Structure 1
Amino acid sequence: SAQFFHLLRRQVKRPIRKPLVVLTPKSLLRHPEVVSSLEELAQGRFQKVIPERVKGARKVLLTSGKVYYDLLQKRREVGAEDVALIRLELLYPFPEAELKEALGFYPRKTPVVFVQEEPVNQGAWWYLSARFCGEIYGHPFSVVARPESPSPAVGSSKVHREEQEALLEEAFK
């Protein structure tokens, strides 16, 4: 993906070298939708937030990482074209201006729901919930995530698939 290429390029071009932590699963390496054109590679840049403008959206799903592609597929399956997907590609330093601009397209009371695969007591939700406390730039803010758990994985692929499907169903309610 051009996003990953531009992230690495940006890191190398910086005058001060700092560690870069990238959390991404191997499952996206051959995903058919994670492709970029030569133009995106040559002309593009790293985007901290990837917005989507859906006129008349009843809800905005804010997400980060691989679950975006699951949400995209589920949206097609259920025909929920009135639900917008916004990708948060950088968590720290927090891209406040970019996210504010992306959400500014939607009426202030349009609900924003952060969707994460991790249990609610793990993942990016802890960071975001502390930062926004139920409201994000005038929008009601909530989460769809797996139930609290001491472990990020359930240990059973069958249970994992069931939880993932329930998570996706909840996101589009």
Structure 2
Amino acid sequence: MPLSGIAARQGRFDIVNSPLTEEAVLGFEYGYSVQTKTTMTVWEAQYGDFVNGAQVFIDQYIAAGEFKWGYDSALAVLLPHGHEGVGPEHSSGYLGRFLQLCADENMRIVVPSTSAQWFHLLRQQATTERRTPLIVMSPKSKLYGNVASHSTLREMIDGAFQCVLGDERIADASAVERVVLCSGKFYYELRDARDGSGDESTAIIRIEQLYPFPHDPLRRVLARFTSLRSIVWAQEEDRNQGAWRFVRDELETVLPADCALRDVCRTATPAGAHSSVAAHRREQAQLGATALAAAEL
């Protein structure tokens, strides 16, 4: 394993391929993370929805263990999550449900969109003194194949994890009248649609950490836009399963005066994702167009 030979005095690096028994394995990893204070424990699902088979450990232990018993854990739960047209069983990590369990900074819910953000996030989780579970919604197949999400070595050496990523493509902040907020891989589709239309009055801002919600960093980013009139929250998830019902209250507290707040989501459904790639692509394109058009209303 190359990662075992990076430095002469590095820590031990182990990869264990576990059986497909989510409840048993996640329960073990949680207990291991509670007992070992100097080891970073990571549990990654093959698909985001696999965590549903271990929901009892999320509810009873990972979300509430510190509050109930004082058990601190720095377990990192990586859930490949994102609509890609492969059906509800392989699309959703139940982001909305995790956000419902958040209170008193009991967990971190993060949706990284670049490789540098991934790197700094995991390094931060491994070294932080405040040990809390980390839940990462990570559409890895889409980001791995998207060159725009790749980062330079310099960004990894000199950077740090950012809870909010501003729009570096905006040349004149005073010309921005509309901001579209989003998370994860959906950013790249929105950005490409915006750039393709030649729209210079709409900025696209990424909320990389959904909980604890980054109020102050977002305020600082929004303060750049002195002509701001409207803000749109855009997500690829269904209205009842994504982050919207959580973030709308948080966004109300940072909304500039005389600025309207709107949302763009998929229609609420019990399943949460299409099994048809063609239908998914049509919906995805419509979401992007609606998000940018909604910003103009």
Find 1:93's aligned residue among 212, 217, 220.
Answer: 212
Correspondence for 1:28: 143
- Per the TM alignment, residue 131 of structure 1 is displaced from its structure 2 partner at its CA by 3.1
Deviation of 1:109 after TM superposition, in Å, equals 4.8
Aligned-residue offset at 1:46: 0.3
Using the TM superposition, name which of 78-87 and 39-48 deviates more: 78-87
Q: How does 1:17-166 map to 2 (within 5 A)?
A: 17-25=131-139, 26-52=141-167, 53=170, 54-107=173-226, 109-133=228-252, 136-138=255-257, 139-166=259-286
Shift of 1:130: 3.1
Which region of structure 1 is more displaced relative to structure 2, 148-157 or 57-66?
148-157
More helix by share: 2
User: Which structure is larger by alpha-carbon Rg, 1 or 2?
Assistant: 2
Task: Quote the offset at 1:134 in angstroms.
Answer: 9.6
Aligned equivalents of 1:43, 1:115: Cα separation in 2: 30
Structure 1 residues 51-70: Cα deviation after superposition (integer angstroms, max 9, x where no partner): 12543113101111110011
| SS in structure 1 of the partner of residue 161 of structure 2 | coil
| Matched AA of 2:154 | E
Equivalents in 1 of 2:246, 2:227: separation in Å?
A: 22
Distance in 2, Cα, partners of 1:34 & 1:144: 23
Paired-residue identity, %: 37
SS at match of 2:236: strand
Paired residues of 1:134 and 1:142 also in contact (CA < 8 A): no
Whether 2:134 is the aligned partner of 1:10: answer no
The C-alpha deviation readout for 1:115-169, integer Å capped at 9, x for no partner, is 1001112211010123345972433111111112112202221111111111111
Query: TM-score, structure 2 length as denominator?
Result: 0.55
- Once residues 119 and 159 of structure 1 are traced to their aligned partners in structure 2, the CA distance between those partners, rounded to angstroms, is 14
Question: Once the 2 structures are TM-superposed, how far is the Cα of residue 18 of structure 1 from its aligned partner?
Answer: 2.3
- The CA RMSD over aligned residues, in Å, is 1.8
Q: Distance in 1 between matches of 2:192 and 2:229?
A: 22
Number of residue pairs aligned between Structure 1 and Structure 2? 173
Task: Output the amino acid matched with 1:50.
Answer: L
In 2, are the aligned partners of 1:134 and 1:141 still within 8 Å (CA)? no
Cα distance in 2 for residues equivalent to 1:97 and 1:64: 17
Deviation, 1:83, is 1.0
- Any unmatched runs of 5+ in structure 1? none
For 2:203, what is the secondary structure of its paired residue? strand
Deviations 1:32-75 (A, max 9, x none): 10111111110000000011254311310111111001111111
Letter in 2 for 1:51: G
